[in-house]
Chains A and B, each alone.
Chain A
Amino acid sequence: MDQLTFDIRIVADGKPLVDIRDFSLQRNRVTVLLGESGIGKSLISRGMYGLLDPAELAVTVNGLAYQEYLGTDQVRAFQKSGFFVFQEPSSHLNPLMTLADQIREGSFSGAPSMPGVLRTLWEGTSGQELDSILSVYPKPYRPSGGEKQRILLAMALEKIDMLPGSPMPEALFIFDEPSGSLDNHYRDLFLSLLFDRYRNRPFTVLLITHDYSMISRISASHRDIMEKILFRELARRERGIALRDFQPGTYTDWVDDLRGSAGSQRAFQGQEPLLIVEPRLEVFGRTLLITRDSAGKNPERLAVPPGRMVYVKAPSGTGKTTLVKRVMGLIQEGSFEATLKGMPLTGGTPRRFWQERVWGKRMTMVFQHADEALNMHSTMRETLLGLPLRKPLTSQGLVRLIGELFDGGEAGDLLGKKIRFLSGGQKQRLNLLRGLALDTDVLILDEPLNGLDFESTTKVISMLRRKMEAGMGLLVISHNEEIFDALAGADQTYYLHAV
């Protein structure tokens, strides 16, 4: 059979988490599965692969109780021949075993070509340096998130190399947000390695992502196999969720439009910048340098003008989040100089000043992980009404605000719901709304498009544009270079370097 089809229902504590019919994959084809975070992509893929715990969840797959499904030949074949790369690489490596031990156990205990695969993913690193990386016990910051992700991807590629036969119909390789922690360079490298292997011997791949820019990369660099790649999107329907085709052109055309309209943000030209940050900062014993060029030769003050978006780029692990937290006064050690609407801010500015004059009043920040930034036990209504706004929100104001990023019907259902019951994409939209509701002069955004589907992404970008038109200055850090390069423009792009 050319198609793998699944009817999957997953229930936890009596509440349905996922209910989908005809979730299908084409054998020996690559399926890129898009959709907002929390809609069920990971759960469905785990369910298919046989990784859910029947003691914790009530699962049925194709009418079979999960315990029966686990005993089927299909699942056994998936698990024996395939691999699953999970998102959040930090939590998927054992902190009490060295990386070297972890890449040599189980089915990899005799892996012959693992060193080769690893060296390819660590190009430019000597064998000794690589051995030194592998000899460590994984900790939150060492190795970096990107390095950990590369190790997990190396295992998947190695598993592909270990399999005999061509094609491999029973094998199923699932990659859940494989580029989440990777820089664009390593993301492209991984895609090349994966598709090279696919070209040699086709196998079934499910590539889950909410990074829509992957579509552009694949179109640009792997056009020859585009016909073998299916772009599908998981979307909400009236009852449950459903799989639908996604046209790559929908995204690429939209990005082209963005590029075309980048030059139109000139309404506040000539006005003083809202935020100025001196180029050199010292924090946690490291020096960070802001420059205009990617080589790091021209340090320059970072200036956020009114009505403009400023985009800061840097490789993963450099310290972008540290920079913005320093600018927000959340880190109070080390040296730092900035001016916010004429108010000087330094490393010695007392916390009370930040609390009374800056936070939520002149400047605010939207953090990248909505799950951490929001209170899971509050409702949407409580989250927004509990903000210390200059003018308290009325009920109408609340409805209007929510309507910016949520559809009318959806908003009505969600207002009284506890945040922990929202999907990842809904949480991220609420996270953004909270920041925008404060209506500060400067808004800092850390990965604002994290977990959003295409429709929500377009709404968020539109909302950001409206805020810029109203005079708000935005400072953005994000891996979505394609989108923010287009929005910010080259004249408002800076680079961050760790010296």
Chain B
Amino acid sequence: MRRKILEHIGSLAFVAIVFALLLIFLKHREAAERQARAQVVAPYLNLPGIDFGNPRDRALFKETLHLFRPASPPANDSLMSAIESYRQSQFTDPNLKAGTGERGLTWRVLGRLGLMYLQFVLVYGIVLALTFYGAQSLGIYRFVRMKQGRGSYIEEFLRLVGDPNVGGETPARIRKASFTLLKAFLKGVSYAVLFSPAYVIGYSFKTSFETDSVLFMILLGVVSNGLLVNYANKFYTLLATENRKGYVETALVKNLGGEYRWNVPGGIAYRSILRLPRRFPGHVLQHIYLNARHQYFPALKEQASFLITGLIIIEMALNIQGHLCYELLQNILYRQYDIALTIVFVIFLLVKVTDILVDVRQHREGLRYENRN
């Protein structure tokens, strides 16, 4: 454990040092670049009789450049772009617009970012908890259905339609088949939602809901980007793997329950999947679940990283102003790399803290199960 903690601290220190060095370098370089850019365009900006806001004047100026410097069209184009970009920044760069002259990482900016960061951490924490819980619930549900021998809804539909001996009398069969088809359709829709990138769902609902609310962000973070479904699949795979192990056979031979039907004596109750803590007393699923859950916990690190990716995509793609990741994108666009790096660093910190907490917890559990506590 000590080695792991040292590694975490080492990587934190390394990244912090790199970050600090980059900050210093960028500050100096930015100042120099800004000056250089201004110097290049300054002689042309105040030329009498030329209004760069007028497209005709711009075209004339460009032609004039080509006349006077026919041998270097790329340089002429470059100068035109530089002038255009300088003029644009007068309108779009928030610091220049505000006329404060303030630029880069200041205490005021840090304070603003701090509040955004707290909100980000809150959303992250809630989404992580919900997906951790949701993935296990879905995984167990899928596992129980597998043990019930239930195939896909499409297979069930084909069976009802194709085999007259299944499903009872014709009206009942038709009813069951229709209901099965509806369930298959709903499952398809839910898959489409669960796998959709967040921006697709976000834009689909943009006109009907307030998409920059924290609640919507949490909902989107949980159900989109394939996060929930992929980790539910991971948990299901762990359950299925554990199910094949020898201790399960011994548990069955000790007459622990092996019935997986819903809500029958000795079977599995729906609520046992949803309630916390999850327990399946007297059932072999208790053994399986215990082992799967123990192995699943380290996946939280991977899940955290993937989740942050999802939240970043949500904030950036939906242009949610006043949120941390939107600020990140804006600062990259406006070349305020010092602020951008600060945001990247604090996101990295969040991932690292999650990793450390997971490792500490796993270590404690490991000590117990290794008989070393």
Contacts and interface: CB of A to CB of B under 8 A. Distances in A.
Given A106-B254, A152-B250, A137 B290 contact: no
B48 interface: no
Given A94-B247, A96-B290, A155 B254 contact: yes
A86 interface: yes
A203 interface: no
Given A106-B254, A107-B254, A136-B371, A94 B290 contact: yes
B291 A96 contact: yes
B249 A94 contact: no
Given A105-B254, A155-B254, A91 B246 contact: yes
A93 B250 contact: yes
Given A91-B247, A152-B250, A96 B369 contact: yes
A139 interface: yes
B246 A86 contact: yes
A108 B294 CA distance: 26
Contact of B290 (A97, A106, A139): A97
B371 A137 contact: yes
Contacts of B256: 105-106
Interface in A80-113: 80, 83-84, 86, 88, 91-97, 102, 105-108
A396 B368 CA distance: 58
Contacts of A88: 246
Contact of A51 (B245, B249, B254, B290): B249
Given A55-B147, A94-B247, A96-B369, A108 B254 contact: yes
Interface residues of B, number: 23
Nearest to B284: A106
B70 interface: no
A97 B250 CA distance: 13
A142 interface: yes
A54 interface: yes
Interface of B: 146-147, 149, 245-247, 249-256, 282, 287, 290-291, 294, 368-371
18 contacts: A55-B147, A55-B149, A86-B250, A91-B245, A92-B250, A94-B251, A94-B287, A95-B247, A95-B291, A95-B369, A96-B290, A96-B291, A97-B290, A108-B254, A136-B371, A139-B369, A139-B370, A142-B371
Interface of A: 46, 49, 51, 54-55, 79-80, 83-84, 86, 88, 91-97, 102, 105-108, 136-137, 139, 142, 152, 155
Given A84-B253, A94-B251, A95-B247, 18 more contacts: A51-B253, A54-B149, A55-B146, A86-B246, A88-B246, A91-B246, A92-B246, A92-B247, A94-B291, A96-B294, A105-B254, A106-B254, A106-B282, A107-B255, A108-B254, A137-B369, A137-B371, A155-B254
A-B residue pairs, 7 tightest by C-beta: A106-B254, A91-B246, A92-B246, A94-B247, A107-B255, A106-B256, A92-B250
